[in-house]
Structure 1
């Protein structure tokens, strides 16, 4: 991390961005959110091992530079490549969102490239029904790039699908702290919680019948509806689980701090299959079930 002024701006930012992307962090000593995001950006610079360079500009001391970038609030971060700004963001975003921002622009590191190379092999093995082969490839991808959240998502998801919940929890443990900032990881955690909630249920069918009876007696028994949705979710009955969650959302959109909506989104994340590669400018096709239930969710939430 380098402190930049007008005097060294040309060398440390413009010239440096010709060979390495430069992330400029506009901050000020009095800014509370700046104190939150600053250490996080420094950590990411270390984690990304040379894939980008972080510089800091005190917007109070360097008002000429702040004005040149149109900075109106801080923290503001601007990414430069080849001497030109390419993107930016304002505010103290969580780590997962900052990584998504960086990954959208930065060239892949050696570890990420190795993980990306393993992904098609894993998906081919899955398509052929070779679960053990796919699992091996996914483990290799995570080992090559421990910070690759997509690779870890695929590994934990497959372990859960194979009923290896304990192994899934071990694989998930290194990213538990990231769930608040990475939605797909949060979705996996919600799925694991649903499975854990059924661990002591001796007869799932009897439990489902009991919950359905409670719902029939009182359609606003949201606790029973959610418990039924979790039971269905645990056993992979995805559309039935989402139907129950929609019933809650139609009656109370914000029930228990958006619990029904967040769980619905978690199911969509879990069942959404990997997107095939398409030509530049084209949009990969969406799974019909996922597309249908996304529309149903939007219709209910926006009504």
Structure 2
């Protein structure tokens, strides 16, 4: 268990959640229920053997962090994975309910036997072989068509390869589940951006039109958002995120948080799979993703 402040939040929460889920316990010294659930959370961190990391934030001392997470009552616990909140709960739940919450989100203690990818498929895939990678991902999805992670990996690879029609077809069976699964929501947002870019036809006149609107009114957020979607649809990822940051710096909540959600969607799509490392080591972050994740945190928490 680690006490987190604004100074170490980036390392202990955002960066740490890229390697393992992080459960943030917002508490205060005067809060009676906080004293009840605190020992339960500390016990479960030990019982779960490293499957999640527990950190505590004193909501009185760290009001900026509490405000950033929209904390309205304590105790409140927020689970972060891959740098983003995925779920949470309020109040001093009994241990059994907290276990149910954790088990819903945490990876299993040990890989299931049927999770192993066909070795013949792996052997057919060589580094730098995009067709082989797509074949492996397609086979993994065909073997487990209800596996949302497998679908995300395959659709993401198709998107990055520019095979947009194939990506749409592969995504379609999961479209009804978008509301409850962040990475599927990310795929949908990037696919919609790609469709938007296609509808604009020639990108140059469209960009010129958006640029003129922004020059006339820097708070024309719709023009900025459309410009960002056009750039994302062209796979000009960093330029798109730069434009979305311009919106966030001026109005974080514009259009039901559309800029932040689209920014996260781009990060989800462009972040490469983590390389395998020795046990106990943390795989390195992609430098572009890490840089833009820090920029997002800086703007959102400012």
TM-score, with normalisation over the residues of structure 2? 0.64
Q: In 1, distance between residues paired with 2:175 and 2:284?
A: 31
For residues 295 and 192 of structure 1, do their structure 2 counterparts lie closer, same or farther at Cα, with a shift above 3 Å needed?
same
Query: Residue 86 of structure 2 aligns with which residue?
Result: none
> Could you tell me how far 1:143 is from its partner in structure 2?
0.9
Pick the aligned partner of 2:116 from 113, 118, 122: 113
Q: Supply the distance in 2 between the matched residues of 1:73 and 1:270 (Cα, whole angstroms).
A: 35
Do the aligned residues in 2 keep the contact of 1:118 with 1:141 (CA within 8 Å)? no
* Contact preservation (8 Å) 1:187, 1:265: yes
Which segments of 5 or more consecutive residues in structure 2 lack a partner in the other structure?
1-90
Matches within 5 A, 1:1-303: 73=93, 76-77=96-97, 87-89=99-101, 98=104, 100-101=105-106, 103-105=107-109, 107-110=111-114, 112-114=115-117, 125=126, 127-128=127-128, 130-303=129-302
CA contact (8 A) 2:152 2:184 kept: yes
* Deviation of 1:72 (Å): 5.7
**Separation in 1 of the partners of 2:195 and 2:94?**
42
**CA drift at 1:265:** 0.5
- Residues 149-200 of structure 1 deviation map (CA, whole Å, 9 limit, x = unaligned): 2221121112222332222122112221222222111111100000111222
Deviation per CA, 1:53-97, whole angstroms, max 9, x where unpaired? xxxxxxxxxxxxxxxxxx96489547xxxxxxxx4428xxxxxx9
SS in 1 for 2:101: strand
SS of 1:278 mapped into structure 2 = coil
Deviation at residue 220 of structure 1 after TM alignment: 0.2
Pair 1:121–1:197, CA change in 2 (3 A): farther
Residues 1:118 and 1:216: Cα distance change in structure 2 (over 3 Å): farther
Are 1:184 and 1:266, in contact at CA under 8 Å, matched by a contact in 2?
yes
Task: Give ranges in structure 1 of 5+ residues lacking alignment.
Answer: 1-70, 79-86, 91-96
Contact 1:118 1:140 in 2 (8 A): no
Query: Is 2:197–2:234's contact at 8 Å kept on the other side of the alignment?
Result: no
Change (3 A) 1:292 1:243: same
Deviations 1:202-227 (CA, angstroms, capped at 9, x unpaired): 21011111101111111000000000
How many residues of Structure 1 are paired with residues of Structure 2 in the alignment? Answer: 212
3-state SS of 1:179 partner = helix
Structure whose CA Rg is larger: 1
The higher-RCO structure (CA 8 Å, 6+ apart) is 2
2: CA distance, partners of 1:278 / 1:302: 32
Partners of 1:119 and 1:138 within 8 A in 2: no
